[in-house]
Each structure stands twice: as structure tokens, then as C-alpha cells.
Structure 1
């Protein structure tokens, strides 16, 4: 009697007509493992994409198409509905900030600032009392209100914003601050990011530093000291984690021109799982 041909493990999987219970069990197990892998890949990739990119663009785009109004207009309508015209003169800045926070918490996400980050800004502005302020990117105006409510009345504030304020390109404004806006030195600078593909703040920072030999710096240096008081330029960069700005962070942290401090917190109006941060850099000259 001829010996049966040797059958190697797994060989019968190539011949479905010869499948038995074991082969079917292996096929079911393989399909299950494949399903789980694909499910997790899609879920985790989608989850990461949504919290890193999607929530910044998809809802905003959707509601802009549906309502025909950009986020700033939708927010303005919400504020007007909360405060009828006859009451607007009684509104203070704190109430306005609460309403903006409420909108971004309950209606739709917006890369604003939130009360948690706002308290950090409050502390810096209150202790530093800047007389000249530069805000690069104020979005819906939350950070601008937050800064201005603690400023001395004589302070000068310059805002660079692509849509609503003086310019779309900071590089065209900064060189002429002294001539056009009578600002020689900046006491406080706020740098904001609202999109992943925005350029780094580093070129702007170097532009503000200027060339020391030419005296074109907008930062306070040791030479600006008068008696015991030493004016300093303080810079806050927001969303340095989620939206990222590695070039800027590496420069200020490695440079002996700056003393830095990192503030970590969750992204405004989101859960604690979404980590974000702000970087404070004090120019030492």
C-alpha cells in the first residue's frame, strides 16, 4: 500500500475543497485578527486626525457653508443674542469673555484662549504692566480683550491679523513700527497659532531682535536700564504643542538671549486628553 503524501502544516489552507474544522477555525481566527487590526488602525488614525486637524476645520467649514457666515460673524450674532442692544452699554469685559468662552464650549470649537490660559496672560500683564504691546493673530479677539483689560490706559497696542486689523504679513509691519506707530521698544508680545500649516514664529522673532549693531531691535536690552529698573520684553507663544512650532521653541530654549518658562495645559474648550502649551520667553539682551 502506497504511503500517503506528507501534508505540511497549513498546506490544506491552499485547497478550500479539502477544508476541515481546523482549517475553518484558522480562517475565522485570521479574519477576526485582520478585522481588529483594520478597525484599530482606522479608529486610532481617525481619532488622532480629528483631534489634531479635523476639529479645527471640519465644523467651521460646515457651519460656514450652512449659515453663509464665518466663525467671527457667528460668534458676533451669539454675543448680540445674549446681550440685547439696550443692554450693551452695561456689558463689561469680564462678561464678554464669559460669553465667548461659553460659545466655544457649547456651540463649536474655536482656537481661542480660554480662562485657564487667560489667567496666565492676566498674571504676566498685571505684573509687567507693559506700555507697548504687539499681538500677532488675535482670532476672534478674546486674547486682545484679555490683555487690554489689565493694561495701563496709556499703553499702545498693535495687532497684526490677516483679516481684521493692520496687515496680513508681519514682516511688512515690524520694520516700520517706530516710523508708523511710534513704538521703539515692545514690552509684551503675544504670538498665536490657529492652523498647522502656519509659518514658524522664528523669522518674526529674529526680525524683532534686529541687528544689535544697527540699533534696530524692538526688544529691551541691558542698555535700556535706568537706575534700578530694567525694562524687559516678555513674549508668550500659544499652542506650541498641538499646532507646534519646533523651530521657535528650539531657538528660544537654546539661546542665551532668553529665559524661558513652559506652561502645559489641555487645549482650550477640550478634554484633558488633548495636551497643549504656552511658552514664555523673557528677552535678556
Structure 2
């Protein structure tokens, strides 16, 4: 009886492990709602409980263990490996990251605004390509995420190029000119709360932070999606927009980036 019970427990445990590690992740990676629910509501909470740490903290540990200090590309690579092999996270990811890289290279900006730092992955990607004396201001609402991002940015050796601000984008956007002597931004990367894309874009317009030729690059416009922002940006005579089809970070779910040129 005890031997039968042991076999049942062992077999059940093995089945659960296979489902958790391979079967469910493979199935959900093609479905937007299931992907986000599985990774953000199930896996993250289970691992937080088991490890008594947070996903950003685990990502930071992966950077410390696998990236070379002062080498931004090795930091990006370490995070991509962590997210593909260990645990999904809401960075822009390697596939869409290449699109981001190409836009930064094309614009060659002197002043960049990033809305939504998270753990600093895209911040590092952008800052590593900026010309000498160029700067990036990045805003993060969550202080725990900001604390991790500062350490990842420091590990990448990019602290001098990056100003990380904690707080609400709605509160900070009107203060950027006065607090940091900003005139306008050459490039704005939107990757924060999706319901803030549209109001923050209008706020930047009102505050005079966009000049003719300024580029807005918005992530996750399909998944989770920003329909109000897309409707505005694609129909406003003040913008010329282009959609770059891709996939939600580290999955096969359709997502993309919207690049919009401010026409004045």
C-alpha cells in the first residue's frame, strides 16, 4: 500500500513538473490572455513564494552571475537568457529589442525620454547606443523596480548617461523642463501603463516636449494593447505613424511597436 502511494505521489509530481515546465508554457505562448495570466498571475506568484524574492530581484541575480560588469551587451544577453530559459518577464525582449535598436540608431538622439523603466533592460539597450554626451531620462512608478533598475544600470556601466526618476509620469512630465533643463526630446519610448500612453502623449504635446521630427516609439500596442492610443496617433494630422509587426516578448503572440513622427 505504501509503495503504491509512493509511486502515485512520484508519478503525480513528475506529471505536474512536466506540465509546469514544458507543456503549459508551450501551449500558452500562442494565446495573449493565457500567456499574461500564466506568467504574471501564476508563475511569478509561485516563484515569489518559493524563493522569498521578486522577479526583478531574480533578474538582478542573473545579471550579477552571468554578465560582465561594464559591458551593456552582456547585461542585455544575461536578461534575455534568464527570460527565455528561466522565467518570462515584461522587458521589450530580444526580438522587439532589435527594432528598438534600429530606431535609436536611425534617430541618433541627444535627449531621450523613457516612460516605464521596469528593471532597466530597454534603458540599457538605448543608452548603450547613444552618442557621447547624449542623455536618457527614464521614469519608473514602482520604487522596488527602480531600485533593481539602478543596480542593473550601474552593472552595465551606464550611470552617467541615465537619469532614473521615481514617480508618476503624469506628475513628472510637466516638471521635466524646469527640473532638468529639458527643451524637447528627440526620442520618446513608451513602455509603461498602457492606459497612460494617450494621456501622457497629449501631456507632452501640451508641455512643449515634442519638436517637429520627434519620434514616439510605443511598445505592446497589440498585446496587451493600446487601442485608444493607436486610434489617436494614426488619425491625428500631427503624426505620421508606422507599425512594426513582431511578437510579445519571449513568446509567439503577435505584438508590435508603433513608430510615430511628430509633425508639429
Partner of 2:195 in structure 1?
Answer: 199
Question: For the residues of structure 2 that align with 1:129 and 1:187, how far apart are their CA atoms?
Answer: 8
Residues 159 and 166 in structure 1, CA contact (< 8 A), matched pair in contact too: yes
For residues 52 and 96 of structure 1, the distance between their equivalents in structure 2, rounded to whole angstroms, comes to 24
Bigger relative contact order, structure 1 or 2 (CA pairs below 8 A, ≥6 apart): 2
Equivalents in 2 of 1:146, 1:103: separation in Å? 16
Unaligned 5+ runs, structure 2: 1-26, 147-163
Aligned pairs, number: 216
Query: 2:165 maps to which residue?
Result: 166
Counterpart of 1:135 (choices 107, 114, 124) is 114
**Number of the residue aligned with 2:51:** 67
Map of 2:37 onto structure 1:
53
TM-score, with normalisation over the residues of structure 1? Answer: 0.71
**1:176 and 2:181 correspond:** no
CA distance in 1, matches of 2:178, 2:250: 40
Structure whose residues are more often strand by fraction: 2
Q: CA deviation at 1:52?
A: 4.3
Residue of 201, 217, 220 corresponding to 2:211: 220
Residue ranges of structure 1 left out of the alignment (5+ in a row): 1-42, 211-215, 222-231
- Selected match of 2:255 from 276, 281, 284: 276
Higher helix share: 2
Residue 193 of structure 1: how far off its partner (Å): 4.0
Give the alignment partner of residue 230 of structure 2, picking from 226, 237, 249. Answer: 249
Deviation >4 Å, runs of 4+: none
TM score, norm. by length of structure 2 = 0.77
Instruction: Give me the CA root mean square deviation.
Output: 1.9
